[in-house]
Amino acid sequence: MRVKLAAGNWKMNGLSADLAEIDALAAAHPDPRSEVLICPPATLVAAMAARTDGTAIAVGGQSCHPAASGAHTGDVSAAMLADAGATYVIVGHSERRADHGESDDDVRAQARAALEAGLKVIVCVGETEAQRDASNTLDIISGQLAGSVPDLVTGESLVIAYEPVWAIGTGRTPTTDQIGEVHDFIRARLEARFGTGVGRSVRILYGGSVKPGNATEIFAVSNVDGALVGGASLKASDFGGIIAALDAA
């Protein structure tokens, strides 16, 4: 059985005062059936890790540099995230690919660095609206999986997040049939590349305007093992509703 995962990506949001939301989340969900993860901005990783010690909430980073150290002003290494208390890191998010020009090769290097530092890695894949309209979705996903996921992974160390770019922060959500088609395709590609053992144990998250109101429907879709949540993870009440829906799935 794959343990469900509710992962919150705070993106460039959050100050020290916002850690009160984590206290509220931990109090409301002291023993969730699903795994719960929050990825705050790098400035809050250490404080959040200290705050969540002894709770069911894990902490992760939002990106990492592929190098372990060096002259890379403004960047954060995977080892630094681990040292601050993170256990996960997101790589390849569409906003990183778009805003920072990160390629599949860059994402693979970041993922490899994260694994070497002992972090679990969430590799994001997803198509733009133009690619969806051109019926290129599965080709895009296939290429991103092949290029972004390193070879030496396990079902424990790797999570895939499918985030249709056109649904992130827009309030638009693909149909359940569209979500299921992509998640089933990702599962098949993972099994073909890594074998049924690893391929069936990797968790596949859906991301893209997940809210308490649509979470139950999304979590009922084939091969959806949880969610990577953006804006709805900033408030304990909203993210708590998503966790509850996942626990009940």
- Where helices occur in 89-231 by DSSP H, the ranges are 94-99, 104-116, 129-133, 137-148, 176-201, 212-219
Q: How far apart are CA 92 and CA 114, in angstroms?
A: 12
Q: Choose, from 93, 95, 102, 127, the residue flagged as catalytic.
A: 93
User: Would residue 93 show up in a list of annotated catalytic residues for this protein?
Assistant: yes
Q: How far apart are CA 86 and CA 33, in angstroms?
A: 21
Q: How is residue 17 written in tokens?
A: 């005062």
Q: How far apart are CA 92 and CA 194, in angstroms?
A: 20
Say if residues 104 and 116 touch (Cβ distance below 8 Å). no
Tokens 């959050």, residue located? 14
Q: Choose, from 65, 102, 163, 183, the residue flagged as catalytic.
A: 163
Cite the active site residues: 93, 163
